[in-house]
C-alpha cells in the first residue's frame, strides 16, 4: 500500500468531516467529531461500549448498523492513516446479524455486537489473513483462531478486520520506522499525519483514536501497546503475563509477550480485558484463579487515600513531558492521593543489555515453533524468512534491513543455553526487584511515570528518531507486570502525551481504578485533528 500523495489529503479530510477545508499548509478537520463519528445522535468518539449497549438495547441502532458505520468510516478515513490492512465486511455483518438475534434474548454482556479490530499478528481463520505485516506470511493459514479471538467471539464481539503494525512487531531491524510494514505501508499519526504513531501496535492505536472501530487489540513485548497508545491519545493496557493467553499470537518472546486492549477510554479497556482474560491449556503461563471483574473497578473516587510513587527521571528532562507529569501529580493530590515524588527504580539501567540478549534467543526459538505449527505456504523458520526477504528485497528491504533477524538467527535458539538463561534471569529479576522494592518500601498502590514524548517526524530512510526518547515501558514489560497508559496532555497543544500507572503482578484492578479516576478528573483526551504537518 503506497502512502497517499499530499495533494489528495485536503479532499479526503473533507470527505471524512463533511466540511470544507481551508487551503493552508496545515489544514485539518475543523470539528473531527461531526458528522463523521456521530451515529443517530450518539458521538461514537466519546461513547463507551456501555453507551453502545444502552443504545442498542433501546433500539437506537443495532449491531449491523454499527458495524456498517465502522466499515464505511474505514473506507473514508483510512486512506489518510493506513491503519487497517484488511476487513471482511460479509463475515462481520453476518456476525452482527447473529448478535442482533442474540440481543433479543438477552445478549452476552458488555461486548455484545461491539466491532473490534485486531493487530495483524493475531491468528484468525477464514478470509482474514495473519501476516505480522510481512509478505512472507500471505500464504499462512492458521488452523485455529487465537484464544483471545475465541474469547471475543464468545463475548459477542464482531471482528471487523486487521490493523497494521510495525512489521514483525518491530523486531526485524534497527533502525526502522515504527508503523511500517510491507503489507500495510506506513501508518500515520491522526493528530499530525507526518508524525510517527510509535509501534508496534501502531494501526490498533491509530484506528482506536480515529474511531475506526469501537475497540482494538494490540500486543506488547516492550512498549508496543503503551507507546502507540500514548502517542495517539488513547488508553492501552499491558496485562500481567499469564492473564491473557498468547496462543495464536505471532511471538517475539514467551517471557514478555502479551496482548491487551487499546481503546479511547478506560471503561472500554476494562470491558475488553474482562472478556479476553482466561485460562488456556495452550498457554501454560495462564493460571487458574478466577476471572477478575474489571468493570467493577471503575470508581471515580479511586484516587482518594491511595499512595502513588512518581518515577520522574523517566521523563529524560523533556520539559513538555515534565509539565504534563506535574499536572498529573497535581490532579492526584487534588483527588486525595498521597504522592511520593521523584522515586528511582534501582537496577533498571542494567536491564537493557540482558533483555536484548534474551529476546534474540527467545525470538528464534518461539518464532520457529510458531511457523512450524502453522499451516499454509510460508517459510518454515527464521532462516527461511531471512532468505525470503533477500529474494524480495525490493519490497521487504526497501527502506531498512533485517539485522535483528540475522542476530537472532546467529543464536542457538536453545532455551536451555546457560548464557541465555543467565541473561533472562538477570533481566527479569532486576525488573521485578525494581518494582517490588519501590512499592514495598514506600507502601505504594502504584507507580506513575510519563508514557511518551511528542511524536517524531516519520522518516522511512533514517527510521525512528529516538533522540530525547521518553519511555517507562521497560519495568513492567521485562518483569511481566501490568501497566495502563491514559491520555494526560498535549505537546504544543496538538500531539498527545500520556501517563502510565504500573504496579505489581496481577494489580490490574487497582491500576484500572486509578486510570479511570484520573481520566474522569482530567478529561484530557481530545479527538484527532488530522493536520498534515505542524508549522
Kind and range of the H or E run holding 137: none
Number of neighbouring beta carbons within 10 Å of residue 319:
9
Q: Is 141 in contact with 133 (CB distance < 8 Å)?
A: no
Cell of 245: 493467553
Structural Rg of the chain based on CA atoms:
21
Which single residue is written with the C-alpha cell 504544543? 492
Question: Which positions are annotated as active-site residues?
Answer: 119, 200, 224
Q: Is 167 in contact with 134 (CB distance < 8 Å)?
A: yes
Say how far apart CA 204 and CA 268 lie, in whole Å: 14
Cα 445 from chain centroid? 24
- Among residues 60, 27, 22, 23, the alpha carbon closest in space to that of 42 is found at 60
Q: How far is the CA of 290 from the CAs of 84, 266, 287, 506, 514, in angstroms?
A: 34, 22, 9, 12, 22
Q: Sign of torsion, CA 48 54 57 59? A: negative
Q: Which residues contact 393 (CB under 8 A, 6 or more apart)?
A: none
Q: What is the 3-state secondary structure (H, E, C) of 310-356?
A: ECHHHHCCCHHHHHHHHHHHHHHHHCCCEEECCCCCCCHHHCHHHHH
Say how far apart CA 534 and CA 458 lie, in whole Å: 13
- Among residues 180, 189, 200, the alpha carbon closest in space to that of 397 is found at 180
Q: Is 49 in contact with 268 (CB distance < 8 Å)?
A: yes
Beta bridge pairs of residue 321: none
Amino acid at each position: 500500500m503506497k502512502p497517499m500523495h499530499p495533494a489528495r489529503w485536503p479532499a479526503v479530510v473533507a470527505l471524512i468531516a463533511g466540511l470544507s477545508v481551508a487551503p493552508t499548509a496545515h489544514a485539518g478537520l475543523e470539528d473531527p467529531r461531526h458528522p463523521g463519528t456521530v451515529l443517530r445522535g450518539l458521538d461514537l468518539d466519546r461513547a463507551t461500549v456501555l453507551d453502545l449497549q444502552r443504545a442498542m438495547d433501546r433500539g437506537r441502532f443495532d449491531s449491523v448498523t454499527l458495524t456498517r458505520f465502522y466499515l464505511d468510516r474505514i473506507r473514508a478515513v483510512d486512506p489518510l492513516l493506513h491503519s487497517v490492512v484488511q476487513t471482511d465486511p460479509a463475515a462481520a455483518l453476518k456476525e452482527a446479524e447473529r448478535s442482533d438475534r442474540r440481543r433479543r434474548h438477552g445478549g452476552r454482556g458488555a461486548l455484545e455486537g461491539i466491532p473490534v479490530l485486531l493487530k495483524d499478528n493475531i491468528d484468525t481463520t477464514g478470509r482474514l489473513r495473519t501476516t505480522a505485516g510481512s509478505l512472507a506470511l500471505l500464504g499462512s493459514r492458521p488452523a485455529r483462531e487465537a484464544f483471545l479471538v475465541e474469547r471475543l467471539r464468545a463475548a459477542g464481539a464482531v471482528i471487523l478486520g486487521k490493523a497494521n503494525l510495525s512489521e514483525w512487531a518491530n523486531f526485524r531491524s534497527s533502525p526502522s520506522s515504527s508503523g511500517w510494514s510491507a503489507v500495510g505501508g506506513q501508518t500515520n499519526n491522526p493528530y499530525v499525519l507526518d508524525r510517527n504513531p510509535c509501534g508496534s501496535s501502531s494501526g490498533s492505536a491509530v484506528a482506536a483514536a480515529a474511531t475506526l472501530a469501537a475497540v482494538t487489540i494490540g500486543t506488547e513485548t516492550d512498549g508496543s501497546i503503551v507507546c502507540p497508545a500514548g502517542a495517539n491519545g488513547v488508553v492501552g493496557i499491558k496485562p500481567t503475563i499469564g492473564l491473557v493467553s498468547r496462543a495464536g499470537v505471532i511471538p517475539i518472546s514467551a517471557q514478555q509477550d502479551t496482548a491487551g486492549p487499546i481503546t479511547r477510554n478506560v471503561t472500554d479497556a476494562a470491558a475488553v480485558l474482562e472478556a479476553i482474560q482466561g485460562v488456556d491449556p495452550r498457554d501454560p503461563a495462564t493460571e487458574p484463579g478466577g476471572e477478575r471483574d474489571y468493570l467493577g473497578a471503575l470508581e471515580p473516587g479511586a484516587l482518594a487515600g491511595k499512595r502513588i510513587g512518581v518515577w520522574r527521571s523517566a521523563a529524560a528532562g523533556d520539559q513538555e513531558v515534565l509539565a504534563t507529569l506535574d499536572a498529573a501529580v497535581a490532579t492526584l493530590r487534588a483527588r486525595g492521593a498521597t504522592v511520593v515524588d521523584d522515586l528511582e527504580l534501582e537496577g533498571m539501567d542494567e536491564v537493557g543489555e540482558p533483555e536484548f540478549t534474551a529476546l534474540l534467543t527467545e525470538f528464534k526459538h518461539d518464532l520457529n515453533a510458531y511457523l512450524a505449527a502453522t499451516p499454509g505456504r510460508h517459510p518454515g523458520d527464521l532462516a527461511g524468512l531471512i532468505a525470503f526477504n533477500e529474494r524480495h528485497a525490493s519490497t521487504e528491504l526497501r527502506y531498512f534491513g533485517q539485522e535483528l533477524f540475522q542476530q537472532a538467527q546467529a543464536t542457538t535458539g536453545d532455551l536451555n543455553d546457560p548464557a541465555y538463561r543467565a541473561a533472562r534471569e538477570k533481566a527479569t529479576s532486576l525488573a521485578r526487584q525494581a518494582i517490588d522494592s519501590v512499592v514495598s518500601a514506600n507502601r505504594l498502590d502504584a507507580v506513575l511515570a510519563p508514557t511518551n514524548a511528542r511524536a517524531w517526524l516519520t522518516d522511512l530512510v533514517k527510521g525512528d528518531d529516538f533522540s530525547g526518547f521518553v519511555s517507562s515501558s521497560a519495568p513492567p514489560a521485562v518483569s511481566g507486570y501490568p501497566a495502563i497508559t491514559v491520555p494526560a496532555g498535549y505537546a504544543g497543544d496538538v500531539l498527545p502525551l500520556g501517563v502510565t500507572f504500573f504496579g505489581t503482578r496481577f494489580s490490574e484492578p487497582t491500576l484500572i481504578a486509578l486510570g479511570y479516576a484520573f481520566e474522569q478528573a482530567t478529561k484530557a483526551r481530545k479527538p484527532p485533528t488530522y493536520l498534515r504537518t505542524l508549522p
